[in-house]
Amino acid sequence: MLRRQPMPELDPRERIHTFDEVALGYNEEQAIEEAKRCLQCPRPTCVQGCPVGIDIPSFILCIREGRFEDAVKVIKKKNHLPAICGRVCPVEEQCENSCILNKRGEPIAIGNLERFASDCERRSGSRVIERAEPTGKRVAVVGSGPAGLTAAADLAKFGHEVTIFEALHVPGGVLMYGIPEFRLPKKIVEEEIDYVKKLGVNIKTDVLVGRTITVDELLQEFDAVFIGTGAGPPQFLGIPGENLAMVFSANEFLTRVNLMKAYDFPDYDTPIRIGKRVAVIGAGNVAFDSARSALRLGAEEVSIVYRRTEKEMPARLEEIKRAKEEGVEFKLLTLPVRLLGDEKGCVKAMECVRMELGPPDSSGRRSPAPIKGSNFVFDVDTVIVAIGRTPNPLVPSTTSGLKVSGKGTIVVDDAARTSRIGVFAGGDIVTGEATVIKAMGAGRKAASAIHSYVMREKNWPSF
């Protein structure tokens, strides 16, 4: 069996001094070699593993035959933002996990090939833009993250007049403020968003729905509304000392670095400060993005502090591996209980307790429990809290009759319909914090439900 083509990467010693993209992408030869490994299954299981159902064997066949433009056309039937998905999808849990080769060896590098195809298209500068016959229907999309962008692109392809309302000064949501440049270059995100605009989607930034305008008001102007406002306020641990200076939420830290380009301070105006010894609390992708950003900003020691073991870490394997290569340290089975400050109110140390994994709970996960008397203190001068985010409450709290779950997520049916007639929702605001591709899948599903609704179906389920 042929070996999987390795992804060329920047050397770890070089890359920790720059925010440049780590993974360099396949060249044509490597892509074709990798495409040749695909068995072209008549009943492909990989497609089932893809949340948007891309016809994976077909686009891989195009690459194998050197028809790179055709490969992109196949992908774009299902996914408008392949340059993004090819970089950030947790493929090891999705398409590549379902690849038949995974049973005996290494699965096809589907993500790498998707990235290759879309990068070819971008480099060639020849983008196919198909604009549909206008239907005369108007749809408002709230939020320009992966869910909103996908819904908007699909709706534009159906011929509807689409306006996206974005609260920040640039569109893209987590793609712009959350995922770092070294994993997802912002120029690529901008080009993908440009493609969505060329489909006819109008994007209004600086509009905070819930404050600047409400969903109820949007419904007076638009035939339907899609809510894709994503995950919202960061969670903190609720331990003493958490409001000391130099304690950041990952969201603040990453927004400064990614959206505001604080790594280029003072050429950009937004400042960032990084100490010598940084502790990042949490072990999801956001924690790893924060840790690796901290290294690139010049921190001498960066550790991931996690209450379980490496096996339970929710981050992508690839990123965990890259973080290790870059020198990020792991403090496992460790739970912070208190942050200690200096006389200026800055954090100077962290008190933690050691944990042990108990027996599996009802969900099969071994839950960690503190070991009594195992407390210890270590010095830190920067703490980044990356333990997750709660659903954004602004739209639910300012929209009449919108049903919300106990967790604060918006309740929808199978067709993304909320309890308000004409209002649809998808992405993290419905599921809680999830992945980019799942949000795209939700946006896509909502778009087809919205299409049916505005074109004919006026019935609505009761909640």
Partner 1 sequence: MYEIVEKKVLAPEIKLYKVNAPLVARKARPGQFVILRVGERGERIPLTIVDFDRGKGTITIIFQEVGKTTKQLGLLGQGDCILNLVGPLGIPLEERFFGTVACAGGGVGTAEVYPLARALKNAGNFVISIIGARSKELLVLEHEMRGVSDELYITTDDGSKGIRGFVTEPLRAMLDGGRKIDLVIAVGPVPMMKAVSDLTREKGIKTLVSLNPLMLDGMGMCGVCRVTVGGRTRFTCVEGPMFDGHEVDFDELKARLQTYFEQERLSLQKFHGLVK
Residues in contact with partner 1 by the rule CB under 8 A: 167-169, 205-208, 211-213, 232-234, 236, 238, 242-246, 248-249, 251-252, 255-256, 260-261, 265-273, 344-346, 392-394
Pick 28 or 269: Cβ nearer partner 1 = 269
Closest approach of Cβ 357 to partner 1, in Å?
30
Closest approach of Cβ 344 to partner 1, in Å?
6
Closest approach of Cβ 431 to partner 1, in Å?
18
Pick 36 or 211: Cβ nearer partner 1 = 211
Pick 130 or 267: Cβ nearer partner 1 = 267
CA atoms within 13 A on the CB side of 233: 8
Closest approach of Cβ 345 to partner 1, in Å?
3
Closest approach of Cβ 91 to partner 1, in Å?
28
95: three-class secondary structure by DSSP: helix
How far is Cα 334 from Cα 352, in angstroms, rounded to an integer?
6
> Cβ distance 305 to 279 under 8 Å?
yes
Phi, psi of 152 (to 5 degrees): -65, -45
Closest approach of Cβ 7 to partner 1, in Å?
32
Pick 393 or 432: Cβ nearer partner 1 = 393
Pick 7 or 346: Cβ nearer partner 1 = 346
165: three-class secondary structure by DSSP: strand
CA atoms within 13 A on the CB side of 377: 9
Q: Which helix or strand (DSSP H or E) is residue 251 part of?
A: helix 250-254
Closest approach of Cβ 62 to partner 1, in Å?
39
Closest approach of Cβ 346 to partner 1, in Å?
7
Phi, psi of 163 (to 5 degrees): -125, 125
CA atoms within 13 A on the CB side of 222: 27
Pick 209 or 355: Cβ nearer partner 1 = 209
Q: Which helix or strand (DSSP H or E) is residue 356 part of?
A: strand 347-360
Could you tell me the CA-to-CA distances from 335 to 137, 363, 371, 374 in Å, in that order? 53, 22, 10, 11
DSSP assignment letter at 420 = S
Q: What is the DSSP code string of 179-228?
A: S-TTTS-HHHHHHHHHHHHHTT-EEE-S--BTTTB-HHHHHHH-SEEEE-
Pick 249 or 334: Cβ nearer partner 1 = 249
Pick 4 or 261: Cβ nearer partner 1 = 261
How far is Cα 320 from Cα 291, in angstroms, rounded to an integer?
11
> Cβ distance 227 to 173 under 8 Å?
no
Closest approach of Cβ 334 to partner 1, in Å?
23
Could you tell me the CA-to-CA distances from 91 to 168, 333, 428 in Å, in that order? 29, 27, 19
How far is Cα 374 from Cα 352, in angstroms, rounded to an integer?
8
Identify the CA nearest to 336 among candidates 398, 290, 383: 383
Could you tell me the CA-to-CA distances from 28 to 33, 47, 58, 128 in Å, in that order? 9, 24, 17, 21
Pick 35 or 257: Cβ nearer partner 1 = 257
99's tokens: 């690849």
In 380-418, DSSP assigns E strands to 382-385, 389-391
Pick 213 or 219: Cβ nearer partner 1 = 213
Closest approach of Cβ 288 to partner 1, in Å?
19
Closest approach of Cβ 419 to partner 1, in Å?
23
Pick 212 or 452: Cβ nearer partner 1 = 212
259: three-class secondary structure by DSSP: helix
Closest approach of Cβ 283 to partner 1, in Å?
20
Pick 46 or 386: Cβ nearer partner 1 = 386
